[in-house]
Amino acid sequence: MRILLVSLFLLFSTFIYSQYPVLKFNDNSKFKIVQFTDVHYQKENPASAVALELIEEVLRVEKPDLVVFTGDIIFSKPAKEGLDDVFNIVEQNEVPWAYVFGNHDDEYDMSRQEIMDFVQQKTYTLARPGDKYLKGVGNYVLEVKSANGEENKSVLYFFDSGAYAPIKGVGTYDWLGTDQVEWYARQSAAYTKDNNGHPLPALAFFHIPLAEYSVMKSENYDKLIGSRDEKECHGRLNTGMFAAMRQAGDVMGTFVGHDHNNDYIGNYYDIYLAYGRFSGGNTVYNDLGKNGCRVIELTENKREFSTYIRLLGGEKLYPVEYPKTLSVKK
């Protein structure tokens, strides 16, 4: 009986995970990601219409292989209806999508776990609750396969960067936990081992920036590309995620939101630290003007990516290539 139960469990688990859309490079060896962040959607507020307009326009024109929402999607009750208005546009376009939490998403009438449970009912979602013993909800990895679907060619890491500082008197916002850092290091090492000791090209997505963003800005202000109009609102304790990524050697770039007046990208010790573009309407502060998104494109079998900001209406800003554009002479 026990063997039968175990077999049924494994079969059920395989069935569940087989329902996730498979990500792979296209026949031109490209894989395109669109990052929307800080939509701050309010269902009854006409100002949110431009957020939905942006998502519809970008999906139609850019035709991404994956959409990533990096937090703060809703900004009012009812949470479920607001999430539906945003996520169902992607669902209707049959595009796979991922999601990580911001600091505001669970401030209304749904908890993080309730939102994740709701999100997982969607057909094209790739968001996962992750290890229940890790800090946060939604720490997971997505693999991008070769064009023939047989090999892992790239890895995408997703982290719940939390909300507010868990220690009184230590700043305002949260930081990634040491357990999340250790979990990432284990995942990265396993992928490297499976790839004959060579790190797979990787990207990472979360909401609250790392402390290294402000360090990079202070050291390389004139070399940043994009708007840098707001002080970085990261957690005050540095638990070492950047160091772990640099030592592992797989992550080429990190992509965050949170600070609405920043959409810059810079090079910090050969990892590009980037913001998305504020994607919402005038439901909260935004001094950059038109809302937009970040477009990222990977190339199969190469440790490189290209990226730019795309505004509502089609204007493209700040084209950057990794590692060429911001390379540092050694």
Q: What residues pair up with 295 in beta bridges, in sequence order?
A: 34, 308
Cβ proximity of 232 and 268 under 8 Å: no
Cβ proximity of 125 and 119 under 8 Å: yes
DSSP 253: E
C-alpha–C-alpha distance, residues 309 and 317, integer Å: 5
Six token digits for residue 50? 């431009």
C-alpha–C-alpha distance, residues 283 and 214, integer Å: 26
User: What single letter denotes the amino acid at residue 287?
Assistant: D
Six token digits for residue 128? 């996962």
Q: DSSP readout, 261-288? A: TB--EEEETTEEEEE--B-S-TTS---S
Question: pLDDT at position 12, please?
Answer: 44
Question: pLDDT at position 21, please?
Answer: 86
What ranges make up the beta strands (E) of the chain?
30-36, 66-70, 97-100, 140-145, 152-158, 202-205, 251-256, 265-268, 271-275, 292-299, 305-311, 316-322
C-alpha–C-alpha distance, residues 131 and 54, integer Å: 33
Instruction: Show the domains of the chain with their CATH numbers.
Output: 22-322 (3.60.21.10)
C-alpha–C-alpha distance, residues 261 and 231, integer Å: 9
Q: What are phi and psi of 153, to 5 degrees?
A: -115, -20
Render each residue's pLDDT in the chain as its tens digit; 330 residues. 444 443 444 444 444 444 678 999 999 999 999 999 999 999 999 999 999 999 999 999 999 999 999 999 999 999 999 999 999 999 999 999 999 999 999 999 999 999 999 999 999 999 999 999 999 999 999 999 999 999 999 999 999 999 999 999 999 999 999 999 999 999 999 999 999 999 999 999 999 999 999 999 999 999 999 999 999 999 999 999 999 999 999 999 999 999 999 999 999 999 999 999 999 999 999 999 999 999 999 999 999 999 999 999 999 999 999 999 998 765
Cβ proximity of 151 and 145 under 8 Å: yes
Q: Please state at what angle helix 79-92 crosses helix 112-119, rounded to 10 degrees.
A: 30
DSSP 208: S
Cβ proximity of 246 and 254 under 8 Å: no
| The residue to which tokens 């970008």 are assigned | 58
Provide the sign of the torsion angle of the four alpha carbons 161, 100, 157, 131, taken in this order: positive
User: What single letter denotes the amino acid at residue 143?
Assistant: E
C-alpha–C-alpha distance, residues 5 and 307, integer Å: 48
How many other β-carbons are positioned within 10 Å of the β-carbon of residue 305? 21
How many other β-carbons are positioned within 10 Å of the β-carbon of residue 120? 15
Question: pLDDT at position 14, please?
Answer: 40
Question: pLDDT at position 328, please?
Answer: 73
